[in-house]
Amino acid sequence: MLADKDRIFTNVYGFQDWGLKAAQARGDWDGTKALLERGPDAIVEEMKASGLRGRGGAGFPTGLKWSFMPKESRDGRPSFLVINADESEPGSCKDREILRHDPHKLVEGALVAGFAMRARAAYVYVRGEYIREAEVLQAAIHQAYEAGLIGTNACGSGYDFDVFMHRGAGAYICGEETAMIESLEGKKGQPRLKPPFPAGAGLYGCPTTVNNVESIAV
The span from the first CA to the last CA of the chain, in angstroms, equals 19
Please report, for the chain, the start and end positions of each structural domain, with discontinuous segments joined by +.
17-70+77-217
Nearest to 94 by CA among 124, 58, 55, 61: 55
Query: What is the structure's pLDDT at 1?
Result: 67
pLDDT in tens, 26-81: 999 999 999 999 999 999 999 999 998 877 767 788 999 999 999 888 888 999 99
- Tell me the residue type at 125: Y
Model confidence, pTM: 0.94
pLDDT in tens, 1-11: 667 667 788 88
Query: What average pLDDT does the chain have?
Result: 93
What span, in angstroms and rounded, lies between the C-alpha atoms of 84 and 127? 9
pLDDT band at 129 (very low <50, low <70, confident <90, very high): very high
The CATH architecture to which 17-70+77-217 belongs is: 3-Layer(aba) Sandwich (3.40)
With a pLDDT cut of 70, the percent of the chain lying above it is 98
Is a pLDDT exceeding 70 seen at residue 154? Answer: yes
Worst-scoring range by mean pLDDT, 11-15, 19-23, 39-43, 82-86?
A: 11-15
What span, in angstroms and rounded, lies between the C-alpha atoms of 167 and 86? 9
